[in-house]
Amino acid sequence: MEWRTRLTTPERKGFWGDEFGAEIVEWVVVTLILTLATFVLLQAIGPELNNLVSWIAGKLR
């Protein structure tokens, strides 16, 4: 019965109320999604972006 007493301590309630770990995981997931989306976008428009930069560099010369 001692383990049940320990499970209802204020420390346990504080542990379950703490959302710091969940918030970190959410930010990691958001960062990974944004990184992946940026990578896919740059892969898709990379050649056109290179042409645009080359054209601008040519006009500045």
Residue ranges of domains in the chain: 21-61
Return the sign of the alpha-carbon dihedral for residues 30, 34, 39, 41. Answer: positive
19: its two tokens: 């959302």
The whole-number pLDDT of residue 4 equals 59
The whole-number pLDDT of residue 22 equals 86
The C-alpha atoms of residue 24 and residue 28 are separated, in whole angstroms, by: 6
The type of residue at 8 is: T
The whole-number pLDDT of residue 53 equals 94
Q: Please identify every stretch of the chain with a pLDDT value under 50, giving residue numbers as ranges.
A: none
Closest CA to 38 of 54, 51, 49: 49
